[in-house]
Amino acid sequence: MNFAFRQVDVFGGDPCLGNPVAVLLDEEGLDDEMLRRFSVWSNLSECTFVLPPTVPGADYRVRIFSLNTELPFAGHPTLGTARAWLDAGGIPATPDVVVQECGAGLVPVRIDGDRLAFAAPERLRSGPVAPGMLADLIGILGIEPEQVVDAEWLDNGPGWVGLLLDSARTVLDLRPDASGYPGRWDIGVIGPHRPDSEAVFEVRAFFTEGEEPLREDPVTGSLNASVAEWLIATERATAPYLAAQGTAMGRQGRIYISGENGKLWVGGRAKVVLSGSADLE
């Protein structure tokens, strides 16, 4: 069976400096085992699989897989899937807005030239981080407690917990190690840049997959969405603002946060880099 395939660079300030996602279009006929197998084989942080919608108002349905699990929602896969669907000839029912159906419900994606933006979903978990867990997070990051300004649950699907640190430099200097801390970790770290910087905040995202060591995600839409909600609600930021991510990995992630009619939008460049078909017979 052959399936239309796109690989999309998402949130890159320049070509191939963002976060790639693999997209299989019209994937009806593949079972869950093949979806997981393809995701692992691609060796990307996420792959998505596009299906016909099952609810009114959606333009398509998407399933989002990381290397080891299926996610109800993820940010850069959402923008990458919308771009792949449009590139393959998809026409949204509402001009300039693609409506995606996923495990988190319906997610609108605005079209603005080569930039797309999704409406930030509500958090599934919020509130303070327990002292014991915060101590573990500080240990994993290898920082001093006084470098932590605040901590908050930022879970809108992938399970993020966030730490606001004292500066972008502290964030960029992190060399985390979770080897002495068993379990699954999804850690978002944020630090403010100097006032004369291009970006207002530097963001990094660290996560574990199964028993593997802690990894870093280049650019993370879901995390930036919940970070924006948190920072704006606590009056540490105002929309619009620009966040940078991936700097420590040699990437150039640029995430545009904006607000309109009570909604937060998370946007960035989404460009198809590879186009073709996948033969899964």
Query: Would you name the residues annotated as active-site residues?
Result: 46
Q: 66, 8, 45, 22: which is closest to 217 by C-alpha?
A: 45
> Helices 75-87 & 221-233, crossing angle to 10 degrees?
130
Distance separating alpha carbons of residues 224 and 92, to the nearest angstrom: 25
Helix (H, G, I), strand (E, B) or coil at 71: strand
Q: Is the peptide bond before 77 cis (omega within 30 degrees of 0)?
A: no
Cα 220 from chain centre: 3
Judge contact between 109 and 116, C-beta under 8 A.
yes
Classify residue 62 by burial, with Cβ atoms within 10 Å: 0-12, 13-18, 19+. buried
